[in-house]
Structure 1
Amino acid sequence: MAKNDYKAIADAVLKNVGGKENVNSLVHCATRLRFKLKDENKADQATIEKINGVVSVVKSGGQFQVVIGNTVADVYDQIMPQLGATTETVEDDGPKGSLFNRAIDLISGIFTPILPALIGGGMLKGLLMLAVQLGLSQKSGTYIIANGMGDAVFYFLPFLLAIAAARKFKVNEYIALVVAGALLYPNIVAILGKGTNLDFLGIPVISATYSSSVLPIILAVYLLSKVDHFCKRINPNVRNILTPVIDLAITIPITYIIVGPAMTYLGDAVAKGYLAIYSFNPMITGFVFGGLWEVLIIFGIHWGMVPIITQNIAQFGHDTITGMIGPANFAQAGSAFGVFLKSKRADVKQNALSAAITAFFSITEPAIYGVNLKYKKPFYIACGVGAITGAITGAAGTSALAAIPVGILSIPVFVGKGFTAFLIAIAIAFFGSAILTFMFGYQDIAEAEDSQDKVLVQNNEQLSSPVNGTSFELTTVKDEVFASLSLGEGVAFDSNDGKVYSPVSGIVRVAYPTGHAVGIASDDGVEVLLHLGINTVELNGKYFTSHVTQGMRVKQGDLLVEFDKPGIIEAGYDTTVMLIVTNTDSYESVLPETYGIVTRQDNVLETKKTDQAVLKAQPV
């Protein structure tokens, strides 16, 4: 993809999240642009999901996440200059969301930037262990240097976390690095390592090890941010000189005396608590983790496991969680590959193969959102196979040497106990999911529906008003997709009573469970879409009561849906009802008959037929 293509995606995404004025902050992980928006209601999720190059949109952890895939960094690089920042935009004091969302946002914000370093170090450690198995001497200079290359990121992990936490807590990164440096200062580390007692101003310092630690430095930088904020009250004439001194003089001793030991004990307790759960029944633990991991990814909750995984590695030198969840990635790849094998549609095959290859190399979002969740059964199959293979690796004690995304290139990280079981598990995960999806999980439903939903355009037809209220031009609605008439000609309405009636007699082709849209194919061939409100799909059915189901026959004037107009308006949504003829191209003309006050008996649209005979429902 060319640079101009990334810029086009970036421009379209930024425009539809509400513009740079609506962006509090932006970071990216391996596949997603993670926006924090001032007002999520200003973001047009439906339009963003239709942008070529966007896989899906996820709202989770207080973030508006746009899933791009492997090229996310290229799109991010095109957006950031428009935001006027080089790393992360500055957040304001807007809505913070729930405590859970804030916690997930905090964890992802701190750990996302350091993932590349963790991946690099972890891969080097795995390859080095593989080399040892093949005969490399651990006393050789090659081993010593290579071990330092891989182990440095984990030994000096507090430095990486200090920078990431400083950016998150909005405090000077270099001061934060000094705090981390104090925790790893060689003389102090050596003294505490020997068990020698130290004190600071007569207050005893509890011995603790901070290399490879996670929680102590994060809380220390948080404390630093509070001290720094307090220092802003100092007279500006001396603030720049006194603030760094006060920051360090208060933060470092408190960290050594209170914060460090407390967080060290907490981290140890978390790691040992997980170990106790795992030791109780490794197979059941693996079954649960393997089956639910991709579900956690969908909701962004998997970030809550990252500190535990990292702490396990710091505490024990390896992590079994990664061993249990690893095959689940191959299961998602397998399901997508099964769709590729089964489908006869060129567009589906291309997307499924691309997603399968990407998941094979550890990036599962395109497979999850672009293929498996879209067709549902492939995702269920992958989760089921992931549970079975997770049980296998759990029982075998498979573990990873580093917290990294699991794919074909990261296999060396699992060398050691349970490695053979891991290889068997990922083979079962990939091929098992592919075979089950091919046999039971997918068929070209959309293609079959196209053939059975072909409707003959028989006559000219008059469509009655779907509401009692006022009609006006569709081109004036506050939604570019409908106003541009790209879905077809139509009329917009303001309902008086929140009741929507069928404008034609025919078959309900689409009845969304959220109640916000209904599609009808009339007996004479017109294909009608009724869309109730703008972006009201986000309400997830709240305020809507549907009276129809897919496949039901309706008569002109039958009640289709009722909606709570005041409730929707209070929730911040537009209640405009739109009537669109989605097979406009099948007619010589589709002309509105009147604008103004209408009742459900009044004719509002007239179609005049052409020789075109096939019509097709449009996606909402």
Structure 2
Amino acid sequence: MSDQNTTQKETGLTKVLNIISGSFAPIIGVLAGAGLLKAALSISISADWLSSDSGTYIALSAAGNSIFYFLPIFLGITIPLKLGANGYVGGAIGGALLTPDIINLVNGGVDSMHFLGLPISLANYSSTVFPIFIAIFVYAALEKLLKRIIYKDIQMFINPLISLTLLVPLTLLVFGPFGTLVGEGLGSTISFLSGRSGLLAGAVLGGAWTFLTIAGLHWTIIPLAIANLANGPDPIIGMAAPAVFAQIGVAIGVFIRTKDNALRSLAASGILPGSLAGTTEAIYYGILLRFRKALVYVVIAGAIGGALNGSFGIVMNDFVLPSALSIPAFSPIGLHLVGTGVAFGVGLLLTLTFGFQTKSDASYKDMVVTIKSETITSPIIGRTVSLSDVNEPLFATNMVGRGVAIEPAEGKVYAPADGVVTTLFPSQHAIAMTSNSGAEILIHIGIDTVNLKGQYFRSLVKQEDKVEQGDVLIEFDINRITDAGYQTVTPIVITNHEEYRSINSIIDEDVTNEDDLIKLEA
């Protein structure tokens, strides 16, 4: 009985994590870009390059502020889409919180009004996160009910009419004030903990941030940071930022120390986007999960840098992804440079001094001598789709690697070539292998399925196993994964794609595990 309850709780948690990540993923890029613009404008004002009342500043400030000010509208669209409800009705609910009639009352000092005799506490909901999340969760449940009881031919306008009439007043009456209290409470708790011991809080967050990111749990923290920014600066990302610089330091150390051209190329492919945009997926997929010593270095360096930033009281003033370009978004900027610089330096020095490979790492890495042309077969039975159509920016933009995706018709992953299993993810949702001809192949089953924590996946191999083309590597339950709310479309990418002159994939065709899938020309 207890096992069953535990499984149900885990399933509920993974669903919540999936909804949060799926709601923020479509807008995280524009949030980060707008944050960088706001940081640049702050520098321009401080350096007297621009005046705050100039037309240039006002126009660029509007560009940087819009996504944050109207965040309830954007989330009002993305959350229902993740929940299978009407995103435009959700956007209208979010927009109702920001209409001039309400904002003007708040700005004019009016703190309450009445709806059918019930008192409404007025507040400015711009840039807020939790009120709209609560409202849309209720709206999604209401829409499912309406679809069952309302005559189909009139649902198009009756369902939005009922939803808006009920949900907007309820949000102003209940969900908004409650969500605001939740956000303020969480923010106060974080500020209290960092205030009591910024060094300890920073060490824990800086050391754990890489694991949280790999597991997808950082999506539960990013909304807290954005919510904090609605009321002032945020300390969370300030303490987490050194972990990103620690990863970059380790990657540069690997680049300098390794004699393997393929690994050097992989490290370089992670250093540039990590430094400029804070996206380090290539580093932790290609290096940290492969070389255990490197992962230990990142934890040590991230914890030291996080402890420094926590003790310095570093805060983020505008939402950004930690990177070299986003440094001006943090303050005090000089001390932030110290914390992130120390994390970078410790990661780099540990890698250069002690190396990054263990004997077990070398056993499969040393087999890659030269890259050869080859054709790999499909590891999945199903229908191929373009990576650009995958609902995950890291794959859709070829950031992790180049290749193709497959919508599976069978819950098995086959070895696409002869080679060695280089990485088997703890959650068993993804596996990487290196072929005997040097291709580094990542097979990622589903989108955000890391949140399932291994449920519905069963690995038939372990890391460092030698495999032959056609061997079954992993079995997974398509129906249960789908029922849990996850997409099963599976990207198959070549992570060392820079080593090849051309990579050609079969797209929009049905394939079996015996069909050619990707042709690699060295």
TM-score under structure 1 length normalisation: 0.57
Whole-angstrom CA distance in 1 between matches of 2:461 and 2:415: 16
Select which of 164, 167, 170 maps to 1:251. 167
Aligned twin of 2:268:
353
Mapping of 1:424-503 within 5 angstroms?
A: 424-443=338-357, 445=359, 480-481=414-415, 486=418
1:342 aligns with 2:280: no
Residue of 306, 314, 332 corresponding to 1:390: 306
* 2:473 alignment partner in structure 1: 535
Range that drifts further, 169-178 or 323-332: 169-178
Q: Which amino acid aligns with 1:535?
A: L
Where does residue 33 of structure 2 map in the other structure? 120
Kept in 1, the 8 Å contact 2:460–2:472? The answer is no
What are the superposed Cα offsets for residues 156-191 of structure 1, whole Å, 9 maximum, x if unpaired? 111111111121122222222221221111112222
- Offset of residue 535 of structure 1: 3.4
Within-5 A mapping of 1:149-298: 149-193=63-107, 194-232=109-147, 233-298=149-214
Q: Please name the residue that 1:314 is paired with.
A: 230
1:446 CA drift (Å): 7.3
Query: Offset of 1:229 from its aligned partner?
Result: 2.2
Conserved 8 A contact 1:393-1:418: no
**Residues 415, 467 of structure 2: 8 Å contact kept:** no
Deviation at 1:96, TM superposition (A): 10
- Map residues 363-378 of structure 1 onto 2, 5 A cutoff: 363-378=279-294
| Deviation for aligned residue 1:432 | 2.5
Counterpart amino acid of residue 173 in structure 1: G
* Shift of residue 109, structure 1, vs aligned partner: 0.8
Aligned residue runs from structure 1 range 28-43, under 5 A: none
The 3 A distance-change label for structure 1 pair 452 and 379 is: closer
- For 1:535, what is the secondary structure of its paired residue? strand
The aligned counterpart of 2:56 is 142
Cα distance, 1:368–1:200 mapped onto 2, change above 3 Å: same
1:307 positional shift: 1.4
1:106 to 5, 19, 25: 19
Question: Percent identical across equivalent pairs?
Answer: 31
When Rg is computed on C-alpha atoms for both structures, the one with the higher figure is 1
Aligned residue identity for 2:215 = F
Name the residue aligned to 2:296.
380
Q: Distance in 1 between matches of 2:175 and 2:361?
A: 61
CA contact (8 A) 2:414 2:472 kept: no
- CA shift in 2, pair 1:391/1:202, >3 Å: same
Measured after TM superposition, the shift of residue 447 of structure 1 is 9.5
CA distance in 1, matches of 2:137, 2:131: 10
Q: What one-letter code is carried by the residue in structure 1 that aligns with 2:175?
A: V
User: Within 2, Cα distance between the matches of 1:268 and 1:101?
Assistant: 24
Q: Which amino acid aligns with 1:249?
A: T
How many angstroms does 1:341 deviate by? 1.1
Q: Does 1:406 align with 2:322?
A: yes
- Quick one: structure 1 residues 325 and 480, their matched pair in 2 at CA, closer, same or farther if it must change by over 3 Å? closer
Question: Would you say 1:304 and 2:220 are equivalent positions?
Answer: yes
Alpha-carbon shift at residue 366 of structure 1 (Å): 1.0
One-letter amino acid of the counterpart of residue 162, structure 1? G
Higher RCO, 1 or 2 (CA under 8 Å, sep at least 6)?
2
Counterpart of 2:17 in structure 1: which amino acid?
Answer: I
- What is the alpha-carbon distance in structure 2 between the residues aligned to residue 432 and residue 519 of structure 1? 29
**Alignment-mate amino acid for residue 110 of structure 2:** G
- Residue 568 (structure 1) aligns with: none
Change in Cα spacing, 1:367 to 1:259, as seen in structure 2 (3 Å) is same
For 1:347 and 1:401, locate their aligned partners in 2 and report how far apart those are by CA, in whole Å: 39
How far 1:122 moved relative to its partner?
0.5
Partner amino acid, structure 2, of 1:212: S
SS at match of 2:114: strand
Q: Secondary structure at the match of 2:26?
A: coil
Q: What does residue 57 of structure 1 align with?
A: none
Q: Quick one: distance in 1 between partners of 2:365 and 2:179?
A: 63
What displacement does 1:251 show? Answer: 1.1
Distance 1:450 1:307, change over 3 A: closer
State whether residues 118 and 402 of structure 1, in contact with CA within 8 Å, keep that contact through their aligned partners in structure 2: no
Cα deviations across residues 280-319 of structure 1 (Å, max 9, x unaligned)? 1111111111111001111111111011111111121x21
Cα deviation per residue 1:104-133 (whole Å; 9 max; x = unaligned)? 101101111111221121011100111112
Contact 1:104 1:304 in 2 (8 A): yes
Question: Which position in structure 2 is the counterpart of 1:464?
Answer: none
d(CA) in 2 for partners of 1:157 and 1:255?
A: 16
Q: 2:243 aligns with which of 316, 323, 328?
A: 328
- Check whether the contact 1:344–1:444 (CA below 8 A) recurs between aligned residues: no
Secondary structure of 2:316's aligned partner: coil
Q: What does residue range 597-612 of structure 1 map to in structure 2 within 5 Å?
A: none
* In 2: Cα distance, 1:252 partner to 1:529 partner: 58
Tell me the equivalent position of 2:438.
Answer: none
TM-aligned CA distance change 1:219 to 1:423, over 3 Å: same
Q: Deviations over 1:388-417 (max 9, x none)?
A: 111111122222123322112222222xx3
Structure 1: runs of 5 or more not aligned: 1-61, 63-94, 454-477, 489-513, 521-527, 539-620
1:375 alignment partner AA: F
Distance of aligned partners of 1:391 and 1:481 in 2 relative to their CA distance in 1, 3 Å threshold? closer
1:250 shift after superposition: 0.9
Distance 1:119 1:268 in 2: 23
In the TM superposition, what is the alpha-carbon distance from 1:225 to its structure 2 partner?
Answer: 2.1
TM-score, normalisation: structure 2: 0.67
Q: Is the 8 A contact 1:271 1:315 kept in 2?
A: no
Per-residue CA deviations over 1:327-351 (Å, capped at 9, x if unaligned) read 2111111111111111122222222
1:232-251 deviation line (CA, Å, top 9, x unaligned): 21223433332222111111
Query: Counterpart of 1:208 in 2: which secondary structure?
Result: coil
Gaps of 5+ in 2: 1-6, 368-411, 421-458, 477-522
Verify the 8 A CA contact 1:518 1:530 in the aligned structure 2: no
Q: What SS is found at the alignment partner of 1:138?
A: coil
Structure 1 residue 140, shift from structure 2 partner? 2.9
Structure 2: how far apart are the matches of 1:112 and 1:451?
34
CA apart distance, 1:218: 1.8
Is the alpha carbon distance of 1:110 and 1:517 closer, same or farther for their aligned partners in structure 2, counting shifts above 3 Å? Answer: closer
Amino acid corresponding to residue 36 of structure 2 in structure 1: M
Secondary structure of the residue that 1:184 maps to in structure 2? coil
